[in-house]
Every structure is written in C-alpha cells, then in structure tokens.
C-alpha cells in the first residue's frame, strides 16, 4: 500500500508520482484530494488526485516542491512507500453535461484541472483550456491537457511560449473576442484564481475555483481550512474544495494562507533535506 510505482520530473520543481492505493482509486472522483504524511513526525499535506486508475488501483499526484514536506516527498523514489495517505476527501466537482466550459490552470494548478477536463470531455462538453506558467520550462501536462481539450491556449508570464501574459489576460482576450461559454473553472495560486474571478465578474460568468488553504485533519473538525464564501464560514476540506469564486473573500484567504510563512521558512532552512539553499 502507498508504494510509489512511477516517478517523473515534470519541471525542475514539479514531480508526478503514481501511488498504489486500491481504496482511494476505487472511490476517487474529479475534484477530490488526499492528505498524506511523509514521515512519522511530519505534518499532513493535501494534494489533489490528478488522475486515478480503478483497474490498476493507482492514484496520480502532481506536486510542486515549495517547502519542507513537499521537498521530502520529492525525495521518495520508485519502490518507496508514503507513510500514510487518506482519501478521497472533499466533495467531487459539480460538472455540467453539456455546453462550453473554459478551464484555466496556472502553474501546478494544471494538475487539479486535468481530471475535470477529462470528465467534461468524456461527457461531450466543449472544453477550452488555458494553461500557463512563469516560463516555458514550467508548463506541465501539456499533452495530457491537449488530449481532453477542443482548444488549448498556452501562456507564459515572460512570453517564452505562446501568449505573453497571465492566463486571466488570455481569458479576457477570448471573451472580448466573442467567446461564448457557460462557465469557467480556475485552479492555481490564490492571485491567479482571484484575477480570473475579477476578469469574469463584469460578464456575470459563473466561475468555479478550487481553494487551497492550510489543512490539518481534512475532516471538518480542526477549522484550519476555514474560508468565507458569500459571508458564510466554510470548511474547504468538507464543503469544497470547489466554490463560486465570485463569492470568496480573497483577502482573508490570502492572509490565512501566509499565516505560518516564517515557521515554514525556518523548517526548510533547519532541515538536512537540501532545501533553503
Ligand atoms: P510549506 O513551506 O510548509 O508551505 C508553503 C505554502 O503551502 C504555505 O505558505 C501555505 O500556503 C501552504 N501550506 C503549508 N502547509 C499546508 C497544509 N498543511 N495544507 C495546505 N496548504 C499548506 N499542491 C500541489 O503541489 N499539488 C496539488 O495537487 C495540490 N493540491 C492541493 C489540494 C488542496 C485541497 C489543498 C488545500 C492544497 C493543495 N496543494 C497542492 C498545496 C499543498 O498542500 C501545499 O503546497 C503543501 O502543503 C506545502 O507544504 P510544504 O511543507 O512543502 O510547504
Ligand atoms: Fe480541519 Fe478542514 S482541515 S476543518
Ligand atoms: Mg510545511
């Protein structure tokens, strides 16, 4: 159980692992996630189920090495086991059966958007995807996204590939150019999802986002993942992770995501894991 069967480096800081876990593979749906621990005294970290295979009993995780736990996870090799992994957690994404959906993925957010696009495409929904990263070397899962999109747009902040600018700028260009769509799904860092929502708000275009607050238990008991949506408190682990982005209190979500930044920096610098260089 939890053995790593495949490991790929997608970019210098992004890794894909395929993990054996028949229980999670049997129940996983697009939009759900797992919580795992790499070592006995380690923290729990949530990662989205980027893909699953019920016949092979596997789940695919794609993660960016941003701090201690993801650096340690990235050090595990094929044949190693993840100490604990629970899931699937969260509510499966509510996906339409017809119409046109624009899927917007920023950075490692392309991984969580992939299973949604696959399912939409399978249902016969028209999928227009916009994926982006800081530069061309950081674009991930391009072929996989192309395979489940009717149109794929690539954006880079530095213009090294495709459209020069943010994914939200590309979305605005498409909408202003007459794009007709029923809803938008955006997954990525908070500033990217927030900018996408501000782009679609004037058009009244329904926009779903996948929130990624700090989580601890993942079962709705600790309150760590609290956000405010439409003036009401929501726990992302049990009420989400997908929410109507026009209703999210982004300023609060941003503040809470950075609550432990100093401690996270110290954790990397003081470990012998090769981080903090
Ligand atoms: P740290 O240095 O500890 O933290 C870096 C930043 O990550 C923090 O500032 C904080 O914003 C966030 N973070 C820290 N601890 C946690 C925690 N326990 N829970 C959530 N966020 C935390 N990342 C991916 O690369 N791929 C994914 O598929 C993915 N899916 C996610 C799905 C959900 C539902 C959520 C909530 C988060 C997801 N994340 C994903 C983010 C991932 O959990 C964090 O990057 C990871 O926990 C960072 O841990 P760290 O110790 O390496 O970094
Ligand atoms: Fe504890 Fe959501 S992670 S309530
Ligand atoms: Mg951490």
Instruction: Please give the domain boundaries of the chain with CATH numbers for all domains.
Output: 4-89 (2.40.30.10), 93-201 (3.40.50.80), 211-256 (2.10.240)
The pLDDT tens digits of the residues spanning 90-107 come to 999 999 999 999 999 999
Mean pLDDT of the chain: 94
**CA nearest to 111, candidates 165, 187, 35:** 187
Residues framing ligand 1 (Cβ under 6 A): 33, 43-48, 62-64, 66-70, 108, 111-112, 212-215, 241, 257-258, 261, 264
Contact predicate 120/101, CB 8 Å: yes
- For β-strands 226-229 and 207-210, DSSP reports them as unpaired
For every residue of 114-126, DSSP letters joined together read HHHHHHHHHHT-E
For residue 180, report the distance from its CA to the centre of ligand 2, in Å: 37
Residue 151 has pLDDT above 90, yes or no: yes
233 lines ligand 2 (CB under 6 A): no
For residue 247, report the distance from its CA to the centre of ligand 3, in Å: 28
For every residue of 37-88, DSSP letters joined together read ESSTTPPPEEEE--EEETTTTEEEEEEE--SHHHHHHHH--TT-B-SEEEEE
Indicate the pTM of the whole model.
0.95
The pLDDT tens digits of the residues spanning 41-89 come to 889 999 999 999 999 999 999 999 999 999 999 999 999 999 999 999 9
Phi, psi angle pair for 29, to nearest 5° = -135, 155
């Amino acid at each position: 159980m939890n053995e790593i069967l495949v490991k790929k480096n997608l970019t210098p800081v992004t890794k894909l692992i395929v993990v054996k876990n028949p229980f999670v593979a049997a129940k996983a749906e697009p939009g759900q996630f797992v919580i795992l621990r790499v070592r006995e005294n380690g923290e729990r970290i949530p990662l989205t189920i980027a893909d699953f295979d019920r016949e092979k009993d596997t789940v695919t995780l794609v993660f960016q090495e941003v701090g201690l736990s993801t650096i340690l996870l990235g050090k595990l090799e094929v044949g190693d086991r993840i100490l604990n992994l629970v899931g699937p957690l969260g509510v499966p994404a509510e996906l339409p059966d017809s119409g046109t959906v624009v899927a917007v993925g920023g950075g490692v957010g392309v991984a969580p958007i992939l299973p949604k696009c696959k399912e939409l495409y399978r249902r016969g929904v028209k999928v227009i995807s916009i994926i982006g990263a800081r530069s061309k070397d950081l674009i991930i899962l391009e072929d996989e996204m192309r395979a489940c999109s009717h149109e794929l747009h690539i954006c880079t902040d530095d213009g090294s590939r495709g459209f020069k600018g943010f994914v939200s700028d590309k979305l605005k260009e498409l909408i202003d150019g007459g794009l007709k769509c029923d809803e938008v799904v955006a997954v990525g860092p908070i500033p990217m999802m927030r900018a996408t929502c501000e782009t679609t708000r004037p058009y009244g275009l329904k926009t779903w986002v996948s929130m990624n607050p700090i989580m601890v238990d993942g079962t709705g008991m600790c309150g760590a993942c609290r956000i405010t949506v439409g003036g009401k408190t929501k726990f992302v682990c049990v009420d989400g992770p997908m929410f109507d982005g026009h209703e999210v209190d982004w300023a609060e979500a941003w503040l809470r995501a950075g609550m432990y930044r100093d401690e996270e920096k110290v954790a990397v610098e003081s470990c012998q894991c090769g981080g903090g260089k």
